[in-house]
Amino acid sequence: MSNKIFIDACFGKKTPYTPIWMMRQAGRYLSEYMAVREKAGNFLNLCHAPDMAAEVTLQPIDILGVDAAILFSDILVVPNEMGMELEFIKGFGPKFPQPLKTDEDLDALDMSASNKLTYVYETIKIVRKELADDKALIGFTGSPWTLATYMIEGQGTKTYAVVKKLIYSNPDYMHKLLDKLTVVITEYLEKQIEAGVDAVQIFDSWASALERDAFFEFSWDYMVKIAENIKAKYPHIPVIMFPKGISGFLDGIYGNFDVFGVDWATPIELAKEKLGDKYVLQGNLEPTRLYSRDAIDKGVDHIINTMKNERHIFNLGHGMLPDLDRNNAKYLVDKVHSDSSKF
Ligand code: CP3
């Protein structure tokens, strides 16, 4: 057993209660976060300033009492350090003004990007020093597919038209890009682990854009490669996979990793039936339930009574929204701790 309940749960060990953390737990719903972001000037500056990034990483631990901190950064710092200019535009979101188009654009990508992400490793070192020993620190990356989608579309998209035209008309281009990202991401996670994270999560937020065969070919196979690289070198570090919106493909999920992140649209009992023996499950309260105590109660009852504090980490089924009342988030954390301890 480790001294971290979150880590024990990742490896399927029996814990006194179900640990909980929340995707996007550091963010705009906290006035303390807004104050630090203001001081930094903007979001990207905040990611680049280890002292301030560490401060916002720790805020939800103190305020909500969650069992794990997630490194404060963004998945898009990786393509940014591979040489792509990145802007975060208020009210719009992230943007790469010059998305990838040509073979030259691919060749120009900087494969030494993981060496330039030193501000992330600095943040990790500060957090790990200040974080209580019984709390885990989670590092993360975007999946190759999700990062590639941003790099090709240049911004968020509803139709994924540009990137999907590419995978059907020029799959070799896409595979070349995904291979490059797989190398860079593996090195990036290794360096996060060397700096002190206790677990890593791979976010595949845009998995839902793909039909079944394309999901495995262009996303999951690459995620598994990264997970297996990490597990071969660091078997004691849990790897969490979060492919969002693929409830129809659960029977195809394979690979050496520890925890499967269940999104809110996947019934937890379905995930348990298909994957619960093989992987620990993380999830999956619908994030919008956080706006009503009654909705929290019903959602938590269903999840806790299905998982029964076995092979389960509680989380939302996607990120927290910016206008949330923190008291409801605290209510959720306390309820999960207390209700799950009865099993
Ligand atoms: O979870 C956490 O608390 C840790 C930090 C974290 C952020 N982004 C901070 C952030 C993590 C793990 C991410 C991952 C991320 N970033 C993903 C994958 C997870 C997911 O939500 O699916 C994606 C797709 C991104 C890309 C991204 N970054 C988008 C689309 C946006 C805009 C979102 C919006 O609502 O405006 C961001 C910006 C961002 N990343 C914010 C935060 C707290 C908001 C920035 C601000 O303060 O204005």
- Amino acid, res. 187: E
CB of 125 within 8 A of CB of 131?
no
Structure tokens at 147: 């990062």
Q: What is the pLDDT of residue 2?
A: 86
**Mean pLDDT, range 155-176, rounded to an integer:** 97
Structure tokens at 256: 């050496």
- Ligand 1 atom nearest 22 alpha carbon: 1
Q: Is 86 helix (H, G, I), strand (E, B) or coil?
A: coil
- The Å distance, Cα 286 to ligand 1 centre, comes to 17
d(CA 91, CA 241): 29
Contact partners, residue 65, CB within 8 Å, separation at least 6:
330, 333, 334, 337
Quick count: other Cβ atoms within 10 Å of Cβ 169? 9
- Ligand 1 atom nearest 92 alpha carbon: 36
d(CA 123, CA 101): 33
**With 90 as the cut, is the pLDDT of residue 158 above it?**
yes
- The Å distance, Cα 144 to ligand 1 centre, comes to 16
Please give all residues whose beta carbon lies within 6 A of any atom in ligand 1, as ranges. Answer: 23-28, 37, 43, 70, 72, 74-76, 88, 93-94, 140, 156, 203, 205, 319
190 confidence band (pLDDT: 50, 70, 90): very high
128 catalytically annotated: no
**Mean pLDDT, range 123-127, rounded to an integer:** 98
Tens digit of each residue's pLDDT (9 = 90 or more) over 90-107: 889 999 999 999 999 999
What domains, with CATH codes, occur in the chain?
A: 19-281 (3.20.20.210)
3-state SS, one letter per residue, for 139-151: EEEECHHHHHHHH
d(CA 225, CA 185): 11
Q: What is the pLDDT of residue 1?
A: 74
Tens digit of each residue's pLDDT (9 = 90 or more) over 209-264: 999 999 999 999 999 999 999 999 999 999 999 999 999 999 999 999 999 999 99
Interior angle at CA 253, CA 252 and CA 259, nearest 5: 165
258 catalytically annotated: no
Supply the residue whose CA is at minimum distance from atom 32 of ligand 1.
93
- The Å distance, Cα 89 to ligand 1 centre, comes to 13
- The Å distance, Cα 341 to ligand 1 centre, comes to 32
**Which entry of 29, 121, 150, 188 is annotated as an active-site residue?**
150
**Which entry of 8, 17, 29, 37 is annotated as an active-site residue?**
37
CB of 313 within 8 A of CB of 282?
yes
In whole numbers, what is the pLDDT of the chain averaged over residues?
Answer: 97
Q: What is the pLDDT of residue 329?
A: 97
- The Å distance, Cα 27 to ligand 1 centre, comes to 8
150 catalytically annotated: yes
Supply the residue whose CA is at minimum distance from atom 27 of ligand 1.
94
Q: What is the pLDDT of residue 213?
A: 98
Buried b (16+ CB within 10 A) or exposed e, 65-94: ebbbbbbbbbbbbbbbbbebebeeeeeeeb
d(CA 337, CA 121): 31
**With 90 as the cut, is the pLDDT of residue 67 above it?**
yes
Q: What are the phi and psi torsion angles at 241 (to 5°)? A: -110, 130
